[in-house]
Amino acid sequence: MNTDLAIVIFAPVAAALNPAVLAAVFVMILLPHRKRLMLGYLAGAYAISMAAGLAIVFSLHGSGAVTTSGRILSPGEYIGAGAAALAIAFMLATRLEGPLQKWYARRKAARASKRQAKPPWQQRMLGKGSAAVAFAVGAAVSFPGPLILSALHHISERKLPIVAVLLLVTYLCLMQQLLLELTLLADVFAPARTQAVVIGIRTWLTRHRRHLAIIGLAGVGILLSVNGLTTIV
């Protein structure tokens, strides 16, 4: 398997573990009319990610931006972003972030004393129970991130037929929302069981968030660094 294909296949798998999608799942699974909300969210996510993905691929392909000087990110930027992710993972693993954590806790306490804490904006918006609002939220949080941008760049470099580009960009869009798609599918056939499982997953993630953050950051850091190094070689 060549490097371009590997990045296109595995980058969206990592991107599927998107905290924004997880937060949306945890909020919507507890709301009335959750299937309608999830469908609205997915429609917005598909619309913006497909439009942005195709625009990026075809603009790169048609403008000659696939040369080294016209990359979405330079090799050094990929390596720098990867090194930053690995450094944060190392800090979490060795608990070197203690001073920062204490500073953040003090700052958070100071803000909380001035005003009553509000729930996250996603929860406030999705709590309205409107499919149109869910569509807007899905669109707002589904612009391509660094991993998807990297995959789109590699698709543009291959100079593939239009049908192949459409299929690959569709694959990226579907994979980005995999957690929500699986939740919606499970909720259709076993709603009570799905709700219980999602609540259990949220509890487990809360308990193990440090280890998961370390693994996720290390994986993203390695992927970005390898991508930067392969563009130099």
pLDDT tens column, 74-115: 777 778 888 888 888 877 777 665 665 665 566 666 665 555
The pLDDT-based confidence of 70 (bands split at 50, 70, 90) is: very low
Average pLDDT, the chain: 79
Is residue 57 within 8 Å of residue 149, measured between CB atoms?
Answer: no
The pLDDT-based confidence of 178 (bands split at 50, 70, 90) is: very high
* 107 residue type, one letter: R
From CA 31, how far away is CA 229, in angstroms rounded? 45
The pLDDT-based confidence of 123 (bands split at 50, 70, 90) is: low
Q: Count how many residues are written for the chain.
A: 233
Would you state the structure tokens that stand for residue 59, as one six-digit string?
């603009």
Helix (H, G, I), strand (E, B) or coil at 182: helix
**Total Cβ atoms within 10 A of residue 100:** 10
Would you state the structure tokens that stand for residue 22, as one six-digit string?
């997880």
Give the sign of the dihedral formed by CA 86, CA 92, CA 94, CA 100. Answer: positive
Average pLDDT over residues 23-33: 84
How deeply is 18 buried, as exposed, middle or buried, from its count of CB atoms within 10 A (0-12, 13-18, 19+)? buried
Helix (H, G, I), strand (E, B) or coil at 27: helix
Would you state the structure tokens that stand for residue 84, as one six-digit string?
């930053």
Is residue 7 within 8 Å of residue 148, measured between CB atoms?
Answer: no
Is residue 180 within 8 Å of residue 38, measured between CB atoms?
Answer: yes
- Global pTM reads 0.70
Given its phi and psi angles, is residue 67 left (phi above 0), alpha (psi -120 to 50 degrees) or beta?
A: beta
Q: How many CA atoms lie within 13 A of 22 on its CB side?
A: 13
Give the residue ranges of DSSP H helices in the chain.
3-15, 19-28, 34-63, 75-94, 98-114, 121-126, 131-140, 146-157, 162-176, 178-189, 191-207, 209-232
Look at 208 and 181; give whichever has higher pLDDT.
Answer: 181
* Nearest CA among 138, 134, 122, 127 for reference residue 36: 134
Angle between helices 162-176 and 146-157 (to 10 degrees): 170
**Total Cβ atoms within 10 A of residue 170:** 15
